[in-house]
Amino acid sequence: MGDDICDTFSGVERVLVLAPHPDDAELGCGGLISLLRERNIEVSICVFSLCEESIPNGFAHDVLAQEFRNSGQTLGVVEKNLIIKKYRVRRFDESRQDILEDIVCLRREIRPDLVLMPSLDDIHQDHGVIAQQALRAIKTTKLMSYELPWNQMKTSLNFFVKLSERHIEAKIKAISCYESQQHRAYTGQFLYNLANVRGVMSGGELAEAFTIEKWVC
């Protein structure tokens, strides 16, 4: 899958990406988002926290809100489809029911044909809550999880999306919008190298990897 969308995505018109924090969606599936938007498939991204308690010194407490909007629009996602919830970072477990109800509401409002969520193998506490509640809320829709390998001691990758250079470049450009997060190691060259590894694993040059959790046809 690269310049031509494979039959796997035929009939997919609306995609919902569930991201615990700003930059998770871009890191996990920014290349796929770029490809979907290139093909005029509607994409909505919901982040569940602005991580205000974790902002580095020297940045405004709400800096991630604007960085998220800039990043999403870089990938071609229209602003009205960039959704922000305000749960406390690292405390999602205290709001499981509210998060479940939010995901149910998103499902009803957006009517996605495909939902992307964090991996069930992700050990970050917030990521785990989103994955578990998504699995409960999304019962009759295609559901895939994206990888964030620094949070996963094991993986069950079984679906690879072959991408072009421009899709990975768009992903890296989107991540560069997060100026407050540039101290992290998993940006730029790391993302390209990971895409290269996933490409080799799937018989291509560049790819992103996913786990199919549920496939409804």
With the C-alpha atoms ordered 174, 5, 206, 142, is the resulting torsion angle positive or negative?
positive
Spatial distance between the Cα atoms of 68 and 118, rounded to a whole number of angstroms: 17
- pLDDT, residue 36, reads 97
Instruction: Give the CA diameter of the chain.
Output: 49
- pLDDT, residue 102, reads 99
- pLDDT, residue 127, reads 99
Is residue 84 a contact partner of residue 65, using CB atoms and an 8 Å limit?
A: yes
pLDDT along the chain (217 residues), means of 10: 63 98 98 97 99 93 97 98 98 99 99 99 98 98 97 96 98 96 86 98 97 94
Fold assignment, 14-214: Rossmann fold (3.40.50)
In the chain, where are the structural domains located?
14-214
Pinpoint the alpha helices (H) of 95-164: 96-110, 125-137
- pLDDT, residue 186, reads 77
